Structure 1
Amino acid sequence: MPSGRVRWYDANKGYGFIAEDSGADVFLPSAALPAGVTTLRKGTKVEFSVVDGRKGPQAMGVSVAASVPSLVKATRPKPDDMAAICEDLIKLLDSAGNTLRRHRYPSQVESKKLATLLRAVADNFDVQE
């Protein structure tokens, strides 16, 4: 059974390509994905069967041999550190809420700092598996 790595896959388009270990590119249609799998990340190692399609070799019966580890997941803070960050963020949000209760927005500098922190914390929570 041939093997290779996913060169790219676009779930919206419903296809992608596999770089076979021998160097050839193989078309990867969505119908070839394993049951329950809707997308594959670039670099995922796969095994598959090859059939001749209308435009060249096409993968069928794809099975995931090894997925690429998530760099974001590997570099995210430890849970204890994230808890401290969340507690500090709550204090900043509480301060902004008190300012808003007085019918005014926080200063532009404070607002920008708060928005940057919210995005950073959200990125640490929003890790795609």
Structure 2
Amino acid sequence: MPSGRVRWYDANKGYGFITDAEGRDVFLPSAALPDTLTTLRKGAKVEFSVVDGRKGPQAMNVTVQGPAQSVVKARRPNPDDMAAIVEDLIKLLDAAGNGLRRHHYPSPVDSKKLAHVLRAVADDFDVQD
């Protein structure tokens, strides 16, 4: 069974690529992952079967070698992107705070957006090791 390392994988797109032991790229569709995995971390060592796809070699029956990876860590934004998100969140909270000082809650639409952003940012910060 061939082995290789994940070159990249995007769970939102549903595919990625593995670099096999010979250095060639192998397409990695989400359907090739075990049911227990939804994403893979760059550099994760994997074993897989290879079939000929329409555009070249395609991985099937992927198994991850080594310790289980943290899905939360794999999906974390890079720190530079997170810094920009936090700065935008501060602006949103400041605007909401100014309205509250005038005894007005944000509109229901704005409240829902703010709550959604707060939960998403909290999830990105809350990583269990």
Query: Taking structure 2 as the reference length, what is the TM-score of the superposition?
Result: 0.54
Query: What corresponds to 1:25 in structure 2?
Result: 25
- Structure 2 letter corresponding to 1:54: R
Instruction: Give the aligned partner of residue 117 of structure 1.
Output: none
Structure 2 counterparts to residues 1-129 of structure 1, below 5 A: 1-67=1-67, 126-127=126-127
TM-score, structure 1 normalization: 0.54
Aligned residue identity for 1:22: E
| Uncovered stretches (5+) of structure 1, i.e. residues with no partner | 74-121
Q: Number of aligned pairs?
A: 82
Identity %: 78
- For the residue of structure 2 that corresponds to 1:66, the secondary structure is coil
Q: Based on CA coordinates, which of the two structures has the bigger radius of gyration?
A: 1
Q: 2:41·2:69 contact (CA, 8 Å) conserved in 1?
A: no
Look up the equivalent residue of 1:18 and give its one-letter code.
I
Q: CA deviation at 1:69?
A: 6.9
2: CA distance, partners of 1:19 / 1:8: 9
Where do 5+ consecutive residues of structure 2 fail to align?
Answer: 74-121
Q: Is the 8 A contact 1:44 1:67 kept in 2?
A: no
